[in-house]
Amino acid sequence: MTHKWYHGVRVLQGKPSAVRYAAAMSAHTARALDLEAFLERIAHFDACGQRTQRARFPDARFDVPVYVNAFWTARQRAANALHEIAYRACFKPLLPRFFIEHLTQPGQVVYDPFAGRGTTLIEAALLGRRPLGCDVNPLSGVLIVPRLRPPTLAQVAERLEALDLDAPVAVWEDLLVFYHPHTLRQITNLRNYLLQREAAGALDDVDAWIRMVATNRLTGHSPGFFSVYTLPPNQAVSLEAQRRINARLRQTPPPRDVKAIILRKTRSLLRHVDEETRARLRACVPTAPFFVASADHTPFVPDESVALVVTSPPFLDVVDYQADNWLRCWFNGIDARAVPTWQLRSPAAWQAAMEAALRELRRVLVPGGVVAFEVGEVRRGELLLETLVVPAARAAGLEARAVLINAQRFTKTAHCWGVTNAVRGTNTNRVVLLTKPQ
């Protein structure tokens, strides 16, 4: 099997016979931890001050227990600062940490086939597991890989100091709705430098880190971003929409110092990264690749090599990932229109796609391995995606063992069915636990 690097991430080509990679993975495929013991603990969980409540699965055809409690905190700041990269529809780091700590041992492989910003991968590496991920969008690799091998603040400062971002350059003038002319010149010079370094095969860890931070700072709603006030950084509005925002707020883009913003964000991201953390991350790099691939076709993952999967698939007809990421893709030289993201509009199509992905997960899981499949409510709670996941899992050869509803505030179990953060102010995650029969 050969591989190439595409936008700084590894893409394997050929049949899944990469002996060295497979051997590295299989060396860490010890038996998954006891799911029965975990579920027993969940049924009696009271670590957050409230006892687990039990509910019925909404589809009477399936006898799947539903447990409701505050299993982990909702506080983002409880996690390592390395996670603080905005991305649409991502879960908080405490979710994968809960399952990784309870269901795996150090050295085992933790996998996310819908990697997004890489929350599962980063948390797995921080906990001494071997992270593995893929996403159909190469932008994910741009955001994930640099945080698995972070440079020091001094290295980033030295590299930025060496760059001439004020040189005359042709710019995409339409972007002046977001940026001051001087800021746009700096962004364009930085973009050109990074793309040239990548094309020459010279993009190193420091460059990749700078690219990751700059990608995250392109637009936002505070002076910590390159742009004038706009939507939060996980959504880039269209040019026309930004013109309307500017007109409504009577605003013009102010000048921003691109280097200073990158350095400030770097300092924030690295504030919890000491030498021990750096060593732990370095140790996971040889067998912690990210691959650009579709979740239903991952020949680079050896059979029965993964102990735990923690993932959240694309929600049904909710998020338009291409529209949200068009500006980030432009900065990284990615054609957003060519990225085959799953934009699934019907429940039947979504369920079929999940069955295909789950069938592939069954192949890569060790016997007894677990999938924590985080789903959400759509259509104002009228459609609960776990009712589509459970039959899809059965068809794929996986067994649904439980649904965990992590609810930070609730009074009655029934309140956890059909609620959304926007509608009733609760903070919930719905996780379907699946296992591969032994």
Q: What is the pLDDT of residues 104-162, one digit of tens each?
A: 999 999 999 999 999 999 999 999 999 999 999 999 999 999 999 999 999 999 999 99
Mean pLDDT on 53-77: 86
pLDDT exceeds 50 at position 372: yes
The region of weakest confidence among 67-71, 183-187, 281-285, 396-400 is: 281-285
Task: Give me the pLDDT at residue 286, please.
Answer: 66
Mean pLDDT on 192-204: 97
pLDDT tier for residue 6 given thresholds of 50, 70 and 90: very low
- Residues 379, 381, 385, 390, Cα dihedral to 10°: -150
pLDDT in tens, 312-345: 998 776 666 677 889 999 999 999 888 888 777 7
Structural domain spans, the chain: 2-138+294-321+341-435, 153-269
User: What is the token pair recorded at 399?
Assistant: 């067994």
Cα–Cα distance, 122 to 422 (Å, whole number): 28
Mean pLDDT on 8-37: 47
Mean pLDDT on 39-49: 86
Task: Give me the pLDDT at residue 321, please.
Answer: 66
Secondary structure (H, E, C), the chain: CEEEEECCEEEEECCCCCHHHHHHHHCCCCCCCCHHHHHHHHHCCCCCCCCCEEECCCCCCCCCCEEEECCCCCCHHHCCHHHCCCCCCCCCCHHHHHHHHHHCCCCCEEEECCCCCCHHHHHHHHCCCEEEEEECCHHHHHHHHHHHCCCCHHHHHHHHHHCCCCCCCCCCHHHHHCCCHHHHHHHHHHHHHHHHHHHCCCCCHHHHHHHHHHHHCCCECCCCCCCCECCCCCCCCCHHHHHHHHHHHCCCCCCCCHHHHHHHHHHHHCCCCCHHHHHHHHHHHHHCCEEECCCCCCCCCCCCCEEEEEECCCCCCCCCHHHHCHHHHHHCCCCHHHCCCCCCCCHHHHHHHHHHHHHHHHHHEEEEEEEEEEECEECCCCEECHHHHHHHHHHHCCEEEEEEEEECCCCCHHHHCCCCHHHHCCCEEEEEEEECCC
pLDDT exceeds 70 at position 262: yes
Task: Give me the pLDDT at residue 18, please.
Answer: 34
Cα–Cα distance, 335 to 326 (Å, whole number): 8
Task: Give me the pLDDT at residue 337, please.
Answer: 85
> CA 341 → CA 140, 315, 319, distances in Å?
12, 12, 11
Task: Give me the pLDDT at residue 88, please.
Answer: 74
Phi, psi of 133, deg, nearest 5? -150, 160
pLDDT exceeds 60 at position 27: no
Of 421, 387, 427, the C-alpha closest to 405 is: 427
State what percent of residues in the chain have pLDDT above 70: 82
Site of tokens 């921003």: 256
Task: Give me the pLDDT at residue 28, please.
Answer: 43
Task: Give me the pLDDT at residue 131, please.
Answer: 94
Task: Give me the pLDDT at residue 429, please.
Answer: 85
Task: Give me the pLDDT at residue 17, please.
Answer: 32
pLDDT tier for residue 11 given thresholds of 50, 70 and 90: very low
Of 114, 34, 7, 68, the C-alpha closest to 331 is: 7
- Please give the mean pLDDT across all residues of the chain: 86
Q: How many residues does the chain have?
A: 438
Mean pLDDT on 73-100: 84
Task: Give me the pLDDT at residue 378, please.
Answer: 64
Task: Give me the pLDDT at residue 428, please.
Answer: 74
Are 354 and 386 in contact by the 8 Å Cβ rule? The answer is no
User: What is the token pair recorded at 356?
Assistant: 């295909």
Mean pLDDT on 2-28: 39
For the chain, state the CA radius of gyration.
22
pLDDT in tens, 269-319: 999 999 999 999 988 876 657 999 999 999 999 999 999 999 999 877 666
Pairing verdict, β 53-55 and 109-112:
unpaired
Q: Identity (one letter) of the amino acid at 394?
A: R
Task: Give me the pLDDT at residue 20, please.
Answer: 39
Q: Identity (one letter) of the amino acid at 11?
A: V
Does 3.40.50.150 match the CATH number of domain 2-138+294-321+341-435? yes
Task: Give me the pLDDT at residue 199, please.
Answer: 97
pLDDT tier for residue 414 given thresholds of 50, 70 and 90: very low
pLDDT exceeds 60 at position 19: no
Cα–Cα distance, 111 to 287 (Å, whole number): 12
State what percent of residues in the chain have pLDDT above 90: 69
Cα–Cα distance, 180 to 191 (Å, whole number): 16
pLDDT exceeds 70 at position 381: no
pLDDT exceeds 90 at position 30: no
Q: Say what the pTM is.
A: 0.88
